[in-house]
Structure 1
Amino acid sequence: MLNTLATNITRARQQLGLTMEELATKVGISKQAISHYENGVRHPDSTTLSSIAKVLDKTIDYFFTAHKVSFQLNNVNYREGMALSLHQRATVEELANNALSGYMELEALAKENKPFENPLKDTAPIQTERDAEKAATLLRKRWKLGEGPLHNLVDTLEKKGVRIIKVKFGYLYTHEGLSGWADDNKFPVIVLNDRPQDVCRVRFTLLHELGHLLLIMAEGLTIDMVEKLCNVFAGEILLPNDILVAEFGRNRTAISMIELLRIKQLYGISVHAIMVGARRANLITFEAYQRWKASDQDYESGYYLGEEEPQRFLQMLYRCLSENKIGFDKAAQLAGRSEAEFRNIYIQKLV
């Protein structure tokens, strides 16, 4: 009950956009007292709770009721998901929304539902491949990503405020994932298909979907063109043109597989995407690119040793558990497991 009270005071305050200090001033108590109430350290007396309820425009019963946070993805985009039937799309989106609701509920409990600021919101609408490349360069600059290889993209995106969730869509769904906005376009979400995939493909999917989230596309573009521009955006972030030129030089008549595998292992981008980038940067001619495509090359050869696994959800879950904001029953529910199964996993991590 105490955790429910603490969570609901926080939620009601945040809904009105008040800081703890502003709420404390309106109620006539200290900021420290509000902090204690929201962290479950102390319980407000009936008079204080009545004052808090009045300021926050809530009933007393509201603060003692467990409220399930419900979020929906909107402006949904798919990577290679256009072939899904309407029924399949509905199933996939329902699974994604269910996972998202649990994720955002945990955010509220952990007080980690930070707003997101689109770093590309002031850019002109994207119409050409060059526009997409410029947007990628600008993103690297504004997010201070440097000019070299980007390791652990999931961690980078999660720290920037992008919610990343993995969902088992089932064996019928072979597309890579989808993206959208939750809670009236406040929170960007990328949902990855939880199935065995090449890490380089996962990385490209993450940035392709990031393109859907951040880029403002010009009116009148076809779906195919939008997908292509998101691919250009993803490729340019992973392996900028300047790096391609520095690595390969200009006016190449061919690029060897040994060279391509070295770049794949270093930058975490597929051999095929490297060659597409080289052609786009005019490092090789169209004829040379076509000869390479027609050759008996293994596009999936070579390995990138990095990992791309979302960690933020588990970090919030274990934090809330350790701070007694939730119990094992609630933690198991949010993790989508039975309580016994979750306890076993938790104990194994301690060993």
Structure 2
Amino acid sequence: MKMIGTRLKLARTASGMSLRDLSAAMNELVTAQAIGKYERDESMPGSAVLLALSAALDVSIDYLLSQDRVALEAVDFRKKPSAGKREEAQVQAKVLHRLEHYLAVEEALGLDSATWDRPDSAPYPINEIVEADAAASQVREAWHLGRDPITNLVELLEARGMKVICEPLADSIDGMTAHVRRADGSTLPVIVVNASHHGERQRFTLAHELAHAVFEPHKRLSEAEVEKAAHRFAGALLMPAEIIWREIGRHRTRVSLGELFALKPVVGASVQALAYRCKDLGIFGQPVMRRLYDEFERQGWRSPPYEEPLPVARESATRLRRLCFRAVEEGAMSESRAAEALGMSVRELDRAMAGPWEDQPSP
């Protein structure tokens, strides 16, 4: 007999509903206690209850009955201390939910997603924080990126076989990195970024999380030092020294905010990250940094939601959307399954496939 416990709990957690919430969403067709038994595989719902669960959770019956299994391992959040365990659990459930659909679409198209293009010589040993610069340079060299700014970081990572999930998250959570283990034992790195954040914050989070995927920090480094190394890696990946030296110079005793904001869209990073990169490279000394950060503080840019003027366009993960469109056109997947994978209705899917409408949903 097929049981639905794992899938049911995953879908409920991803929706943010408690057992009682789900019972209420089903007009109390069954009690919260009964739903708990379904999740523990102590009983199996009948067809009417299964339909009601499917409607309340906005997932298909096929999804609830599927026996495919994926799991997240080595989960690491980039978050503020205010983020709670419930928020973390909901993020993990959302990610697993999306990844199961993602992998199913790739499987339907016969695409190999068992490996990713790990940069040569990775993982890179990190004995000191400053070694993060060399690691970023090695990634750029291995992936033939040259020294130009990276236009679309999501597209780069997904082209290299990483799974990137853009989800609206609580503001206390910037992102997450993990490995997804498939039923056949293979693993893939996954990076999650908060879809609600501005582009500069998303890009820094993506680069920061990539650091964790390619680092091998020495055991003597504290957790805080590893985070600082990941920050430095992110700055070096997005803002290679050659670009900064060319645009700002080797040493400055004064700099205007206007000059930094003019460079912000070029490198796709916040002015604050740009200033800190200049500090790492020895371009700005403490007096310059003190003046800049006093101004950042006065403007309120160092406090949540950390919004600066002239925000960079948000990054978006479009590969899953493209694959779903392809799967439908090639007859490899039904419209209903593709719509479910993208978190939209069949009508919305048809509209999205018909043309580049400005108001179409963007999962």
Is the TM value for this pair above 0.5? yes
Query: Are the counterparts in 2 of residues 121 and 214 from structure 1 also a CA contact under 8 Å?
Result: no
Contact kept? 2:208, 2:230, Cα under 8 Å: yes
| CA positional deviation for 1:304 | 5.4
AA at the equivalent of 1:320? A
Shift, 1:250, TM fit: 2.6
Question: 1:256 corresponds to which residue?
Answer: 256
TM superposition score normalised by structure 1: 0.74
What is the match of residue 236 of structure 1?
236
2:124–2:135: 8 Å Cα contact kept in structure 1?
Answer: no
Which residues of 2 match residues 77-88 of structure 1 at below 5 A? 77-88=76-87
* Partner Cα separation in structure 1 for residue 174 and residue 248 of structure 2: 30
- Paired letter, 2:194: N
Superimposed CA distance per residue, residues 124-154 of structure 1 (whole angstroms, 9 cap, x where no aligned partner): 4212222100000111111001111110111
Could you tell me which residue of structure 2 aligns to residue 175 of structure 1? Answer: 173
SS of the residue corresponding to residue 125 of structure 1 reads: strand
Deviation for aligned residue 1:191: 1.4
2:288 corresponds to which residue? 288
For 1:248, the aligned partner's letter is: I
Unaligned runs of 5+ in 1: 1-65
Segment of structure 1 superposing worse, 336-345 or 141-150: 336-345
Contact 1:154 1:310 in 2 (8 A): yes
Q: CA separation in 2, counterparts of 1:301 and 1:84?
A: 23
Counterparts of 1:69 and 1:348, CA distance in 2: 33
Please name the residue that 1:165 is paired with.
165
C-alpha distance in structure 2 between counterparts of 1:246 and 1:104, whole Å: 43
Question: Within 2, Cα distance between the matches of 1:136 and 1:257?
Answer: 27
Q: What is the TM-score with the length of structure 2 in the denominator? A: 0.72
Tell me if structure 1 keeps the 8 A contact 2:239–2:267. Answer: yes
What is the letter of the counterpart of residue 321 of structure 1? V
Deviation at 1:185, TM superposition (A): 6.2
Letter in 2 for 1:153: L
SS in 1 for 2:125: coil
Residue in 1 that maps onto 2:193:
192
Question: What displacement does 1:240 show?
Answer: 1.4
Q: Is 1:309 aligned to residue 316 of structure 2?
A: yes
Counterpart CA distance in 2 for 1:349 and 1:261 is 31
Whether the aligned pair in 2 keeps the contact of 1:124 and 1:216 (CA below 8 Å) is yes
Q: Distance in 2 between matches of 1:79 and 1:232?
A: 15
Q: Using the alignment, how far apart are the partners of 2:217 and 2:310 within structure 1? A: 34
> Conserved in 2, the CA contact under 8 Å of 1:211 and 1:234?
yes
8 A Cα contact 1:164 1:190, kept in partner: yes
Query: Which secondary structure state, in structure 1, belongs to the residue aligned with residue 126 of structure 2?
Result: coil
Q: Relative to 1, partners in 2 of residues 1:68 and 1:345: Cα closer, same or farther, differing over 3 Å?
A: farther
Unaligned segments of structure 2, at least 5 residues: 1-64, 302-306, 359-363
On the 8 A contact 2:71/2:180 being kept in 1, the answer is yes
Matched position secondary structure for 2:217: coil
Partner of 2:72: 73
Residue aligning to 1:206 = 206
Q: How does 1:1-351 map onto structure 2 within 5 Å?
A: 69-114=68-113, 115-119=115-119, 121-122=121-122, 124-169=124-169, 172-183=170-181, 184=185, 186-195=187-196, 197-295=197-295, 296-297=298-299, 299=301, 300-303=307-310, 306-347=313-354, 349=356
Give the greater-gyration-radius structure (CA): 1
- Provide the residue aligned with 1:8 in structure 2: none
User: Contact 1:261/1:271 (CA < 8 Å) preserved in 2?
Assistant: yes
In 2, Cα distance between equivalents of 1:104 and 1:240: 34
The one-letter code matched in structure 1 to 2:323 is: M
Number of corresponding residues = 283
Contact 1:72/1:101 (CA < 8 Å) preserved in 2? Answer: no
